[in-house]
Every structure is written in C-alpha cells, then in structure tokens.
Chain A
Amino acid sequence: MGRFIIGRLFGTIVVLWAIVTLSFFLMRFAPGGPFDEDRKLPANVEANKWIIYGMGVELTSPVAGTIEVVAEVDLKKTVYDEGTLIAVIQPETPEPGAALVEIRLPSDAMIVAVAAEKGNKVVPGSRIAVVPKSLWAQYTDAIGHYAVLDFGKTFESEGRSDVSEKLLKALPISLELGLLAMLFALSFGITAGLFAALRQNTFIDYTVMSGSMLGISIPTMVSGPLFIAIFVIGLEWLPPRGWEAEMGSEFSSLQHRILPVLTLGLAYVPTVARLTRGGMLEVVRSDWFRTARAKGLRDSTIVRRHALKAALLPVVSWLGPGMAGIVSGSVVVERVFSVPGLADHFILPALARDYPMVIGAVVLYSMILVAMNLVVDIAYAFLDPRVRLA
C-alpha cells in the first residue's frame, strides 16, 4: 500500500510538471498580451508592469551624462539582434579612453519601451530601455517557484494578491458546494437505483430510469435559471444569488445554498442511480445472493449487510472522476447563482491572459483530479477484497 501511494505521488508530480509546462507556453502563444487594453498604456507604463512581474529587465545608464543618440525602434514588433545599439550617452566626466557610452541590446530580443530621449540628462541607474526576458528565462525563473506552489501575484489585482491566497479563499466554497451536491446526488441516486434494481421491470424501475434519462438531458445552465424562475421569482422562497446571508435580507446562509446544491446535485443523480441499479442487478443475479435468500434471510438484511457494498463498486469507481467533475462542473452553477467559488478563477484569467492565475488554477484542478482518483483507488481496495494495490 505504502509503495503504491508513493509511486502514484511520483507519477502525479510528473503529470503536474507536464501540465504546467504546457500551460505556461500555450498561454504565452495565445494572441494578445496581458497588459493590452483598448486604451493603450504608454510603452513605459506598460514596461513598469513587465518589470514588477519579472517578465522584463531594465537597461540602465551606468554613468551620469546626456543622451546623444536614440535609435529608432519598432516597439514589441521586431526582434533585434544582440548588440543592436539603443542609445549613446555623452558622460559628464568621460573615462580615459572612452568618450561615449553605448547602450546595446544584451541578447536577441524585442524592445518593450525606450525611456531615453535625446538631450535628456541621465544619472547612473536611469532607465534607457526595457527588454523582455526570453520565454525560456521566464520559464526557468518561474518553475522553481511553481514547485513550491508559489504562483506569484495575479495581474488582475495589479500585483497585489497572491494567486494561492485567492485560490485558497475560493476553494472551500467550491468544495462545500461540490460535497453537498455529491451527498445529495449519492443519497438520492443510490436510493432510487436500489429501488429500481430490486423492483426491476416494474413501474418504479421505469419511472426511475426515464426520470434519470430526463435528468441527464437537462444541463445545469438550463435547470439553474429554471429553478430561479420557479423558486425565486415565482414563489419567492429562495434568494437568487450569493452564498452568505446578507444585511437586511430574510434569507439565511442555508437558503442561499439550496438552489446551487440542488441544481448541481440533480445533474449527477441520474448517473448515480443508473450505476447503482446496474451494480445491484449484477449482485441480485449472483450465486451468493441466491444462497443468502435460500437460507431464508430477508431481502432488506441481505442488501444492508452484504449486497450494498458489492453493488456500490461501480459508483465508487465513478466517484473519483465524478467528484472532480462535480468540482469543475460547478463552474456553470457558480456562474448562474453568483457563488464566489473557483469558477471565475478558471474562466476569466484565461480571457484576460492573467498568466500566474491561469497556472495556479490549472494546477489546482489537476491536483483535485489526481487526488480524487487516488482516494478512489484506495477506497476500492477496502470495498472489494479481490483488489490488491501494488
């Protein structure tokens, strides 16, 4: 068991590394930059951002003097060769044997901004130009931080909030929503599935199966607004949005949770019901079940003591992807009911090219997915004595 878990953890690290690397480069190849806005930022204001997020470096003047010549450059479009001259400075006190100081490009690169203007006085440290770090340099800088789950500051917060801090604030909300929905789906789905299996080919079975067909076909983005129309606007029983009780409102936090949990849970009830029914049907037909009945045990006792455990194996193996699906599937539900969970962190940063946030969200989701699968594998071993982890 221990060896199994260690092996899986090692595999997980490799998978996460591949995901991070892929996301890192894919993100940067998407058209448009993180600091592009319809009202274009002046080049040097944008350059300030490149520097504080560690994506660019400043070329500065080493001496006090006057800018003599500034080269004409095409900002952010052309990649210039190493050694391209950007500016020439006439120092105040020329060093012996060197009348002029040249500022040149340290490597092949684009130029983000040129701050030097002809005739300007400069002092040591004055900005001459800003050039981006190479993608590879950005990657090698970042990957070490990613390894310890430090994803840096989000662009959207103007570099004030930590990615991990934001994700950790939203994660409990999504987890709570997901777990409640899962509990709802399991209790409702398993009950319905058991009844359907034990009363196969009866009215109950047909009702459960056709009901679950209907449930599978209605996506949450339809059922959510439908519930709002019925329970919020029509009956006025429940609040339309949010997760916590509000000032001056008669609705409690619990009432805020009902609709999102119901909407999300209902989407998974059919799956659970069908899996339970299938698993139970198999058990009902098995030899040991018949033997137990022949020994005179009551159906309810057999189901409770023996059959349920065996019949739930398909549901348990579905739980891993199912739980991951429910946490990520809550994106739509969270958006419909304005639940401040992870959903926004998954969609909006990608559209805004908020690189650190995207990496953070991708890693978090991958970790949830991998962790759930691991938990299910372990649970499997407990439920079915035939399964041995090695």
Chain B
Amino acid sequence: MVIVGSLAGCGSDAPSGPAPTFVRPSPERLAELKGRAPADATGETAQNVDDYPRGVADFTTTEQFEGYIAECEALETTAEPIASNDILFQGTKPVPLPDMPKDNILRVMEATPEFIDPNLTGESAGRFMTAATFEGLVIAAAGNAPPVAAAAESWSQTPDGLTWTFKLRPGMRWSDGNPVTAHDFVYSWKRVLSPAIASKTAEQLWFLKGGKAYNTGSVATADAVGVRATDDLTLVVELEAPTPFFLDLLTYTAYQPVPRWTIEQHGDKWTDVANIVTNGPFHLTKWIDRDRVELMKSKTYWDAQNVALDGVVVYHTDSEGKNLTLYSTGQTHLARPLGQEDARRFIREGRADMRIGSDGCIYFYVLRVDKAPFDDARVRRAFNLALEKDVLVDKVMGMHQKVATTIVPELVGGFTGYIPPRGPEYDPDKARELLIQAGYPRGSGLELEVSYNTSEGHKKIAEFAASSWGQNLGAQVTAANMEWKSLLKKQLAGDFQISRAGWCPDYPDPYTFLGTFNSAADNNYPGYKNPAYDAMLDRIRLETDRRRRNVLMCAAEKGLMRDTPFVPMYQYTRSILLRPEVKGYLPQYQDHHILKWVSLEGQGPMRSNP
C-alpha cells in the first residue's frame, strides 16, 4: 500500500541495527535460551504461579467464580438492551439569553485539534469534527440508541460471527464527485494499520483478521488483513474473533473511508481546506489554527435533504471559564464542559438552559496490589468500605453523579441488558475490623499517598478521601498532586500506592471495563493478575448467547469486587448549558454528538429524531 507523504522512507525502510550473526548454538546454550524464554514458549501454560507472584492466594478462585455464576443466574437479568437517555437534571426557570445570529448555523466549542484525518484522529474534539465530515458504514444514532445504517445499506454476518458482508449504498459521491466505493474502505482500514503512519488509534482495528500482525510490523504487507472489496459496493470483513459490538466499533472514526487519490496527491496536506475531500454531511470550509473551524453542509452528501443545519462553527477553547464567556456573550449555542462551581450554581438557580446527562465513564482510585499494604486484600476492602461515597457525590461533587460500587457504569451495562451487581456499601466498623485482622489496628503504620494530576476537582476528591481514611481508619494519607505526564509515568510503571484514574468505554459493552483487569492488559494499573479472572474473561469473549454472557460478566465483576484492586468512586455526568432552540443534542454515553441529528428550531428544516 502507499504510504503518506513525507512519512514514507521511515517505517520498515529505517536503518535497522547491525545484521544479526549466524551461529549454531550448542545444545546447552539452546536449553539456556529456552529457559529464559516466557512460560508459553516452553510449552507450559500461563497458569504458572510464578506469573502471578503476589496476592494470588487472596484472589477469587475458579470455584468461587462458579459460585458467583450460580448467584448471578438466580438474579433477575434481561437479554434485551435497557434504553436510557438519562437527563438527570433539567432546570425550569427561564433566563434571558443574548441574541444570536439566526442563520441556521450551529455554534459550538471544542479544544480543536491540529488537523482532522479519520485514520489518525483520536481525541474527542477531533473525532467530533471527523464524524461530521466523513461517514462510515454505520453511524451513531442520537443519544444512546444502536448505530444506524449510513454508507452501508445493509449487512449480514456468518453464524460464527467471523465474517461480515456490507452492501454499500449505490450513488454516493465524495465532495469532488468521485463515487464512494468499497475500495475506499479497504484503503482506509489498511492505512490505519500501516506502521508507517503510526496511528495511535490502530488498536481499534486489531479486531480485523491479521490487523495486529500488520500493524506491529511482524507481517510486512497488508495483504492478509481481513478486509476486501469483492466489487465496488460490497465489502467483506473477516474478524479475529466473534465481536458482538462490531457495529458499535464501526462508528469509530478510524473506520471511516478516506479518498486515496487525494492522499496520494497531497500527502500530509490532504486535510487542508483547499485539498480535503469528504463524504460526510458537512464539508470543511475554514480552518484557523487554534481559533475556529467552519463546516458547511455538503452538497454531495447522499442524505443532504435530511441534514437540518446549514453549517457549524467550532470555536477553539481550552478552559471552562472561556466556555462560559463564549456562551454568555451569545457566541455559542451551548457551553460544555462547565466549571464545577458554575455548574452547581446553575443547578441551585434551576435555570432552564442547564442540563445534566448521564455518561459512561467511571472515576476510581487504583490500589497497587503488589505493594504493601495493598498486597493484602483485607486492607483493600477496608479502604473501599471506609469511604462514604454518598457524601462524596452529594457534598463534594454535587452534579448528580451516581455512586459507583462496582466498575461497570449502569449506563454501559444497559446496552447489553447487563445489570451490574451491587458492590459493598459504606461500613466503617467492618473496615476497622478488617484492618485489625490485617495487622494495622487503628491504622498504625499506614502511611500512604494518593497520586492525582493537578486539577481543582481531583484535589477536592483526594482531600475528601484522605480525610475519610484518616478519620475512619486512622491511616495517614496524604494527597500528592503532580503534572499529568508525571502521573502517567507513575501509573504505567506501577510506581504508586493509590492513584486516581478515570475510564471511559471504547464501545458500549461491559467488557470494555472488565477487560482492563486482564493480567496482560496494558492499562491494568493495579497490577491485578488473577488467572481465574483471566479465564472468566476468556469465557465471556467466546460466549455468543447474550443472556449467558451477561451472567458470566456479572460473576466476573463480583469476583473482581471481592478482590477490590480499586476503589470505585462515582459515575460521571456531563453538564451543559444548552439554548432551547437546539434540538436533537442528546446525552450520549461517550459524549459524542452527531451533527446530522441536530437542528435549530425556527431556522431551517426540523428533524424528527430517531
């Protein structure tokens, strides 16, 4: 495949060290080498106790997981998605709002990125604009509804769930008039995976057969990647494993098509306003670096008659204070995110344009399970029990957040009909008892540090937690703030005792949270390594019956909470000031908003939203 612009010539062509030497190792040498190889290289299974050096005696065992499966079977579970477009707060008191131009152009704010390129853009603001200008096979619906058909008209999958066939809508055009074909998707998906563009979103396509091997350089060509066009309008996709949430994955921007001819002609500059070719509802018309981006309704979009807005202006912002100024001076139709103090004031005032919606992210404190004192499960449980999360949510946060007692947010569970089990409640007496058992009576000898990245909100939470643990357990807990990259370094190196973390779903399925605590997972910050839990995850991955899968996930989460490698704190909410004329801008689990579904009342046509 062709490599983009000036990045070509690096990649696999880069100079690669001195040539390895040819040798014939002696039998003893070979035996020694094999001794240094990882366990599976010598034919043993990963169940080797040495791979799980600490705490394994404490962790939930396979038998206990079986018990949890039985318990979860008995619970009332449903195999149907539980729809929820939760608006947790909507004010009622009308407030005067400044005049805005009535030109049917939506004005919003984002931390605008440096460029948009579906294959490279990863952060939410960039994805917001990429999702408006390009269109994949399916797109996210308004709010928390399942994805809807877009560039693909219909699709089918084989019974084993491994091969999907997509039929593209005939007659679609790029903004330069070229037809949108299945080849554009093949080119795009292989481009994401190409090591030469080093896309950080590439992992989202490792679900494709051969995707990982090509992306990690162990296979030099993209020929074996499981995506091909059998004709201009038929795309055949092969997956590594059954992936029940594959349609949701396809709404991710990395899966959007890109115009090969434009990229080959302009290289890195292909997304400049003068060069860009798009296939989405809007087209990029103006880009002023770190100031604003203008998107105008596309004339070539196949469903243009159903796009209500004439255009969108995205103002660049990087602070909550600026967001509020933009909104209150009539520059934008909405303000998000808001500062905590401001949001709480608006809630108190009950102003009609204030809304709080539910969200799929979770805030938690990671406990490093291979370091004293948290290598003892009793201490971990005690710290979870000693935190009065109701008070945290009501008094410290105060933005209608929900208490989290487990790791999967209710909103995300809802997509598969999964009801997360209830975790332990506040119980300081039991917590103190556990500490005595663990050998820390009245917290003696417990001197700990909570690491968090500098932010007023994180600070309040850290101070609340430190004082609660001090009062309830007698532990000496200090809150240590540090710069973001420094915290990341500590987290990635496992060099902390307690650390703040937030996790948002990649796709609407509880597995996106549960899988994080797999022994081999990159983001397993607590260092939780439990072979029995890994085995549960494998069973979940292979299970195709939705109800049974929910039961297994329930059992896995129960076992995980028994081991408590983290203290779940609360489920995020999203606060927004939204002018009443904006319609179709619903809360969404990833806080992603598809502009095709948005309209301005009294300006241009209205949409009836799905």
Q: Which residues of A contact B (CB under 8 A)?
A: 30-33, 35-45, 47-49, 51-52, 54, 57-62, 69-72, 77, 85, 88, 95, 97-104, 106, 113, 115-118, 120, 122-123, 125-127, 131, 153-154, 156-161, 166, 169-170, 228, 232-233, 236, 239-244, 246-249, 338, 340, 344, 351-353
Q: List 14 A-B contacts (CB under 8 A).
A: A30-B485, A32-B484, A37-B200, A47-B216, A77-B493, A98-B23, A100-B25, A115-B216, A127-B195, A233-B328, A240-B325, A241-B326, A249-B331, A340-B288
Smallest CB–CB gap between A340 and chain B, Å?
4
Give the most central of B38, B199, B217, B316: most A CB within 10 Å: B217
Complex CA gap A36/B6 in Å reads 24
- Judged by a CB distance under 8 angstroms, whether B16 is at the interface is yes
- Judged by a CB distance under 8 angstroms, whether B12 is at the interface is yes
Contact B217 A44 (CB under 8 A): yes
Contact B195 A51 (CB under 8 A): yes
Task: Give the top 4 A-B pairs by smallest Cβ distance, nearest first.
Answer: A32-B485, A127-B217, A98-B22, A44-B216
Stretch at the interface among B77-85, B173-181, B290-298, B549-557: B290-298
Instruction: List the B side residues contacting A31 at CB < 8 Å.
Output: 485-486, 489
Q: Which of B269-295 contact A (CB under 8 A)?
A: 288-292, 294
Complex CA gap A247/B115 in Å reads 21
Instruction: List the B side residues contacting A61 at CB < 8 Å.
Output: 20
Complex CA gap A51/B213 in Å reads 17
- Judged by a CB distance under 8 angstroms, whether B241 is at the interface is no
Complex CA gap A340/B7 in Å reads 27
Instruction: List the B side residues contacting A157 at CB < 8 Å.
Output: 114-115
Complex CA gap A88/B311 in Å reads 58
Q: Mark B58-69, 1 if CB is under 8 A from A, else 0.
A: 000000000000
Complex CA gap A228/B331 in Å reads 14
Q: Which residues of B contact A (CB under 8 A)?
A: 6-7, 10-12, 14-25, 33-34, 36-38, 40-41, 101, 103, 105, 114-115, 117, 120, 195-200, 202-203, 206, 213, 215-220, 268, 288-292, 294, 313, 315-317, 322, 325-326, 328-329, 331, 483-486, 488-489, 491-493, 501-502, 522-523
Smallest CB–CB gap between B115 and chain A, Å?
6
Instruction: List the A side residues contacting B268 at CB < 8 Å.
Output: 160-161
Smallest CB–CB gap between B504 and chain A, Å?
9
Q: A127-B216, A158-B197 provided; 14 other pairs, C-beta below 8 A?
A: A36-B488, A37-B488, A38-B523, A44-B217, A45-B200, A47-B216, A58-B217, A72-B38, A85-B36, A98-B24, A116-B218, A232-B325, A233-B329, A241-B315
Complex CA gap A122/B6 in Å reads 27
The one of B18, B24, B213 in contact with A100, judged by C-beta atoms closer than 8 angstroms, is B24
Contact B317 A62 (CB under 8 A): no
Complex CA gap A113/B203 in Å reads 15
Contact B103 A248 (CB under 8 A): yes
Complex CA gap A105/B166 in Å reads 46
Complex CA gap A110/B315 in Å reads 43
Nearest-CB residue, chain B, relative to A232 = B329
Contact B313 A36 (CB under 8 A): no
Known: A36-B489, A127-B12. A158 touches B199 (CB 8 A): yes
Contact A58 B14 (CB under 8 A): yes
Complex CA gap A116/B329 in Å reads 57
Nearest-CB residue, chain B, relative to A86 = B20
Contact A40 B523 (CB under 8 A): yes
Smallest CB–CB gap between A178 and chain B, Å?
18
Smallest CB–CB gap between B211 and chain A, Å?
11
Instruction: List the B side residues contacting A57 at CB < 8 Å.
Output: 14-17
Instruction: List the B side residues contacting A51 at CB < 8 Å.
Output: 10-11, 14, 195, 198
Nearest-CB residue, chain B, relative to A120 = B218
Contact B218 A122 (CB under 8 A): yes
Known: A57-B15, A58-B217. A41 touches B24 (CB 8 A): no
Smallest CB–CB gap between A220 and chain B, Å?
15
Nearest-CB residue, chain A, relative to B294 = A247
